[in-house]
Amino acid sequence: MHTRNMNENPRTGRSFQAPPSRLPQVGTTIFTVMSALAQSCGAINLGQGFPDFEPDPALLDAVTRSMHQGHNQYPPMAGVPALREALADKIESLYGQRYDPGEEITITAGATQALLTAVLSVVHPGDEVLVLTPAYDSYLPAIELAGGVPRCVALNADFGPDWVALAAALGPRTRAMILNSPHNPSGRVWSAQDLQRLGELLAPTDVVLISDEVYEHMVYDGRAHASAASQPLLAQRSLVVSSFGKTYHATGWKVGMVAAPRALSAEFRKVHQFNVFTVNTPMQWALADYLRNHPQAHLQLPTFYQARRDHFRAGLQGTGLRLLPCEGTYFQCVDYASISDLPEAEFCSWLTRRHKVAAIPIGAFEPVPDQRRRVARFCFAKREQTLDAALQRLQEL
Ligand SMILES: Cc1ncc(COP(=O)(O)O)c(C=O)c1O
C-alpha cells in the first residue's frame, strides 16, 4: 500500500510548517535521558527519583476496594471531599494552620500539575517570578508558558538562601516566588527561622509564594519540616504544594494537592478545571481511606528513609566521593572533584557507562550549569539490595 507523506499538503504540495516552539530551550528531561542510558547500559538507576519498592499493601487494597465500590466516575472538581477533609486535619495537626477543605484544598494530578496550574493562575505576561537555583526542572518552563519572566537567584555554595541576592532580585515586577524545601536536588532543608526571614522579606509586598513541599515527610536527624503553612506571614500568600506519590511510595499515581487561602484557591481552581478538571477517583478514595485508617504512616518516613540515607552514606565513606549534607529528601549529593575533573553531565554519563551506576548532574537543575562545580545526585529511595549493589560498584571509585 502507498503511504502518504503526512507532512505534505495534498493541495499545495508544500510541507506543513510547525509553529515556533513555545519552549525553545527545552529538550528531553535529564531524568528521561539518564534512565534510558541506565537501561541501555544495564546500570543501576540511582538517577531518577522514585522508589524501587511497593506502597503499603493496605493502600493497594484500598484502591481495589474503591473501584469495586463504584468510585469510578468523575469526582468533584476540587477532589473527593473525604480526602480534602483528611488533609485539612493532617495539615492542621502538623503545621497549626486550618484550611477549609471546601474552598482551600484542591487535589491535583501530582505536584507537577499543581505547580504549573499555580503559576498559570497567578502569573501574567511580563511578570517576574523568583526561582532559587538549582531548581526542580518544571519551574522555568511553567513560568515561560505563562508568559512570565524567570528571575533566577543562585543559592549559596552550600545550597542555603543568599538573602542579599534574594532581596536584590525582589522588585516591582515580582509577582511570585517558587520555594522548594526540602530541596531537590541538594537535600537542604529550610529552618523555621529561614521561613520567618522570608516572611519578613515578602511582608511589604504582594508577592505570591508557591511552596513546593513534596518532600515534607523526609526530614532527618530530628529536624521538623518548616511549612509555609505554619508561618503566618507566608501562609496568607502561599500556595502550598505536596505529592502523595512521594509520601506513599506511589510516584506513578500522580496525585498531589494544593492548600491555599480562599482567594488564591479560587484562582487556582479556575485554571485547574480547564487543565485537568478532576483527578482519578479511586486513588483519591483510597488515599482518603488510608489517611483515616493509617494516620501515623507518614510519621514513619523520617526513620525509614534516614536508615537508607545512613546506609548509603556509610557505604560511600572511603571512596573518592565527598558526601554533602543530606538534611532531607531522598537524594544524596556527592562532590567528585577528587576523582574526576569531568564536567557534571559528562561525569554522570561516564559513571553510568563505566561503573554502571546512574546519577544526575546538578547542573541539569540550572539554566546555565556552573562549570566549576563537580557535584552529582544519587537517589537512595531503593531497596537495600539495590543500594548494596550500587555501593559495591561505587566503592571501585
Ligand atoms: C521538587 C519536586 N517537585 C515536584 C515534583 C513532582 O511531583 P509529582 O510526581 O507529584 O508530580 C518532584 C518529583 O520529583 C520534585 O522533586
pLDDT digits (tens, 9 = 90+) for 21-68: 999 988 888 888 899 999 999 999 999 899 999 999 999 999 999 999
Evaluate: CB of 185 within 6 angstroms of ligand 1: no
The DSSP line for 33-72 is HHHHHHHHHT-EE-SS---SSPPPHHHHHHHHHHHHTT--
Evaluate: CB of 212 within 6 angstroms of ligand 1: yes
Pull the grid cell for residue 10: 495534498
Pull the grid cell for residue 288: 482518603
pLDDT at 88 exceeding the cut of 90 = yes
The pLDDT value recorded for residue 28 is 84
pLDDT digits (tens, 9 = 90+) for 284-339: 999 999 999 999 999 999 999 999 999 999 999 999 999 999 999 999 999 999 99
Mean pLDDT of 187-209: 98
Evaluate: CB of 214 within 6 angstroms of ligand 1: yes
pLDDT at 2 exceeding the cut of 70 = no
Ligand 1 center to residue 112 CA distance, Å? 6
Ligand 1 center to residue 231 CA distance, Å? 23
Cα→Cα distances 346→104, 218, 221, 364, Å: 45, 30, 33, 12
pTM of the entire structure? Answer: 0.96
The pLDDT value recorded for residue 308 is 98
Pull the grid cell for residue 2: 502507498
**Residues present in the chain in total:** 397
d(CA 129, CA 208): 9
Average pLDDT, the chain: 96
Evaluate: CB of 49 within 6 angstroms of ligand 1: yes
Ligand 1 center to residue 197 CA distance, Å? 25
Give residue limits of the domains in the chain.
30-54+300-394, 57-293
Ligand 1 center to residue 328 CA distance, Å? 14
Ligand 1 center to residue 40 CA distance, Å? 25
Evaluate: CB of 282 within 6 angstroms of ligand 1: no
Evaluate: CB of 251 within 6 angstroms of ligand 1: yes
Ligand 1 center to residue 67 CA distance, Å? 26
pLDDT at 162 exceeding the cut of 70 = yes
Going edge to edge, which strands form the sheet with 128-133?
105-108, 256-259, 238-243, 208-212, 174-180, 128-133, 149-154
Q: Which CATH fold would you assign to the domain 57-293?
A: Aspartate Aminotransferase; domain 2 (3.40.640)
What ligand 1 atom has the least distance to the C-alpha of 256? 10
pLDDT digits (tens, 9 = 90+) for 331-380: 999 999 999 999 999 999 999 999 999 999 999 999 999 999 999 999 99
Evaluate: CB of 302 within 6 angstroms of ligand 1: no
The torsion region of residue 92 among left (phi > 0), alpha (psi -120 to 50) and beta comes to: alpha
Q: What is the CATH number of domain 30-54+300-394?
A: 3.90.1150.10
Percent of the chain with pLDDT over 90: 92
d(CA 147, CA 22): 10
